[in-house]
Amino acid sequence: MARQPLLIGCGAGFSGDRIDAADPVVTTLAENGGPACLMLETLAERTLALAQLRRREDPEAGYEPMLDALVAPILAECLGSGIRIVSNFGAANPEAAAWRIDEIAHLQGFPNPRIAVVTGDDLSGPEHHELLARYLHTSRVPVSANAYLGAEAIAEAWDAGAEVIVTGRVADPSLAVGPAMAHFGWDAGDWDRLGRATMAGHLLECGAQVTGGYFADPGFNDVPDLANVGFPIAKISEDGSCVIGKAKHTGGCVTLATVKEQLLYEVHDPAAYLTPDVTADITHAHVTQVGPDHVALSDVRGHERPATLKVTAFYEGGWLAEGGISYAGPGAEARARLAAEILVKRLPELALRIDLIGVVSVLADDHGRLISKAPIGDARDVRLRVAARHHDREAAERLAQEVTALYTCGPAGGGGVRTAIRQRLSTASCFVPREAVQARFDWVQ
């Protein structure tokens, strides 16, 4: 018997996403009835390294800092309506996150929630240093190292009846592939179905980026009620193809244009989108508007998954110093340029990046190639921003001191100095044999 379609809603697309976004998604899933899950993607590369640093200081910390705010408003409705939650909000400490969710569930009157924890991604411990040294070609000890796990342990937890599945690092689309795999009973070698579900997960994983968020460009791409942009819901069919819609009574839009933009987001070769689960291929894909705010994705293919898993390691990377000062009115650009020259002269030990915000900044480059060619103009509202890195904190702090000193020692009319200094993390990635990583799930209780 063909299984009913699976609805997967996305309630968060990164750590820092709107915490009120999931509620309309859950309401829509509950009203619809039928098999459903809520996916919360909150773990960018750097987010995990910062979480590892927090866990070092406090063994109970290291999971998504907004966990309570994300989960508390929707947990009771999810548990009560059979909407399962799948999320990488476990970050560097999935078990502690699961304990916290267990506590919240108890407080909300659910004494026995079935919470599963997926582990095996964390390769930060000393027992893994030899493996990392071999594949990263360095003996430096990392702050953190995590493998990108795939969908299988999530699928096993789903099969076992988990109502909440907490993970650390997994490939983002696998948060959707795992539930679909288990719900439909797909084999781990069913490449076409896994490829299709992977691209459904890919469309969901950045939340509003497929529903009109990150798309609006007034006069060119107009989006209704963007302030209340609705988050996406994918209806996955037994063959893995999907229709993307969004939460009811929300703003935003789902059109061919919004779906195409997100389909290609962070894709390199469209014939080989690599995840731990499959090599997805969108070269033959079609998108079709099947109703208002509903777009179907079809004809995605899949090929055999890579033989290795990606591992990203973070290392202490010295210090980043930044400073800014504003100039306005007649001659503002000339005064900002003079201030930049002064900083370059006084900080010979630092390789400064110079931005003239209002003239040329984010589209330029760290080496100053574009700014050196930019014609000297007469911009009247310019913020000079400088940045530099150094392995030594004191050397980096000199930048902040010199920008501050422009108040009295620099060109006329400079105001609004802000400076910041923060620890940098540098990264290195490698690919390790699958056998080196043991993914599994365990129950919290």
Question: What is the binding site for another protein (CB under 8 A)?
Answer: 45-46, 214-215, 217, 219-222, 255-258, 260-271, 282-287, 289, 299, 314, 317, 320, 353, 355, 361-367, 369-370, 373, 385, 387-389, 424-427, 429
Alpha-carbon span 13 to 64, nearest angstrom: 13
Smallest separation, CB 274 to another protein (Å): 11
CB 236 within 8 A of CB 200: yes
Q: What does 354-401 look like in DSSP terms, one character per residue?
A: EEEETTB-TTS-TTSHHHHHSPP---SEEEEEEEEEESSHHHHHHHHH
Smallest separation, CB 154 to another protein (Å): 22
Smallest separation, CB 415 to another protein (Å): 19
Residue 295 has which token pair?
Answer: 């777009």
Smallest separation, CB 373 to another protein (Å): 8
Q: What does 77-144 look like in DSSP terms, one character per residue?
A: HHHHHTEEEEE-TTTT-HHHHHHHHHHHHHHTT-S---EEEEE--B--SGGGHHHHHHHH---PPPSE
Smallest separation, CB 95 to another protein (Å): 27
342-366 core/surface letters (b: 16 or more CB in 10 A; e: else): bbeeebeebebbbbbbbbbbeebee
Between 18 and 260, name the residue whose CB sits nearer to another protein: 260
Between 114 and 140, name the residue whose CB sits nearer to another protein: 140
Between 314 and 327, name the residue whose CB sits nearer to another protein: 314
Smallest separation, CB 159 to another protein (Å): 32
Alpha-carbon span 251 to 153, nearest angstrom: 35
Alpha-carbon span 40 to 88, nearest angstrom: 7
Between 113 and 245, name the residue whose CB sits nearer to another protein: 245
